[in-house]
Amino acid sequence: MCFIVKFLNLFAVCNQFARGVFAMLGAVTPESFDTLHSYTNTFQMPFVTPWFPEKVIPPSSGLIDHAVSMRPDYHRAIVDTIIHYGWKEIIYIYDSHDGE
């Protein structure tokens, strides 16, 4: 099954190249993210997505990562809120690995 998903993704990427597409936009499943991410980095094609899976593996080659997440980083806003209200203790409840 994994091979089929990767093959279909490769076919879709090559099909987009043939059509003259310069960037990939959209959300993908966590299972296919790494494959599409690798293709867009290999072919130096921008990949714009509303979110990244929790564990994104950076490119090992040291080259520029061509994937961009449109979800803003909210950690600075949390810190600013704590400072603004002068809170000395907080409880941060989360449903992912963001709190690590």
How distant is the alpha carbon of residue 30 from its chain centre?
9
pLDDT digits (tens, 9 = 90+) for 75-88: 788 899 999 999 99
Q: What's the pLDDT at 27?
A: 80
pTM of the model: 0.53
Regions of the chain with pLDDT less than 70: 1-9, 53-64, 95-100
E-only strand ranges, the chain: 24-25, 47-49, 67-69
Q: Name every residue whose Cβ is closer than 8 Å to that of residue 90 and which is 6 or more positions away in sequence.
A: 82
